[in-house]
Amino acid sequence: MDKVIKRLVEQVEDRKDELVDLLKNLVQFKTPAPPARNTEEAQQYVAAFLKEKGFEIDQWDVYPGDPNVVGVLKGAESSNHKSLIINGHMDVAEVSDDEEWMADPFTPIVQDGAVIGRGTADMKGGLAGALFAIQLLHEAGIELPGDLTFQSVIGEEVGEAGTLECCNRGYKADFAVVVDTSDLKIQGQGGVITGWITVKSKQTFHDGTRREMIHAGGQLFGASTIEKMAKIIQGLQELERHWAVTKSYQGFPPGTNTINPAVIEGGRHPAFIADECRLWITVHFYPNETHEQVAKEVEEHILAIAQADPWLRENLPAFEWGGSSMIVDRGEIFPSLEIDGEHPAVHTLMHSHESILKEGAEVGVSTTVNDGGWFGAAGIPAAIYGPGTLREAHSVNEQLSIDQLVQFTKVMVTFIYQWCHTKK
């Protein structure tokens, strides 16, 4: 191991109490989403931290009270060396009043070798480790040849895609690492899109007319949209089973590509035949698929079912896909991320991991989703790599192993140094 890197790695071990304190500081900022609109103070803290380390700061509101912070540290020889984006989200999962935490979720405690508090695993641990790695590089007086960009974004928990806003603002690099929950595995991911399917009658009918539309000789061409939606749900289940048989992706259990009928809203009053019904669905798809592709497949299947039903054929279902916020417009998109196992940065990250943990790095896929897909959609090679487990993420008494946080920070300081010293 390079003497410079070895010295930095030793610093992580010697100063792990400072690292834990940094994580505790981040957890103390109450940033649950929902309700969101509460990250400004935490983001100011990150901005000040990065500015002190020589970063140029770009901060802007994605939503009022929820700003993105991007810090850019220009490399000494950036035209000749590789650049890196480190990305993480400041928002954390919501906390319900009836959850039985051993202490205030936003007053972190250390117990049995772990830091306990909301957001420790998902994903303020990743933010803390990456920031501490930057601090050590700065204090050692190391001038990186390649550009280093740090993105602290908002909205990941509710589909508000602060990372997409960074991509749209023009931030690019030769590689991006999303330091979200991965249990120190190097991962890609499948994708998710939500959608609304609406069945609406062109007319309204009193419930007293139901006999005339369902029994012989009634001669009233009408239907309950709730009952018709049941046929559509059955069709979605058929498509889901078809996907499970015909599609697969290495690393995913068969049938991971699911269609979840999550919420149904229909009818207006017991004295009416239900004249409108809306179904909110969540579609999971594989890393080699796009949300546009799977949405089209769903639409084509459901419209084929509608053509076989006399009433639906005249009252075709309508589709509304995605959205920019689960809070604002009740919709979200998480693009998939197909990881390139042969990419030089992936190899560098694997080597960094192996040099610290003395075991092979596991390259695979995450069973959940995060902002990593937005980099892939923007043409930026990326991987997910962070501390914490999905079992702890969003859980009551959420916690992060201090040992794993230390290991992650050692890997990150090694990777940042090596990748930003890599010549183009």
Residue 290 structure tokens: 């796009």
**Given the residues 40, 66, 91, 240, the one annotated as active site:** 91
Active site residue 156: yes
Q: Which amino acid is at 143?
A: E
Active site residue 320: no
Query: Tokens 């695979």 identify what position?
Result: 364
Task: Pick the closest to residue 265 from 197, 324, 328, 317 (CA basis).
Answer: 197
Q: How far apart are CA 337 and CA 189, in angstroms?
A: 5
**Given the residues 40, 122, 156, 332, the one annotated as active site:** 156
Task: List 399's β-bridge partners, or say none.
Answer: 116
Residues annotated as catalytic (active site), given as ranges: 91, 156
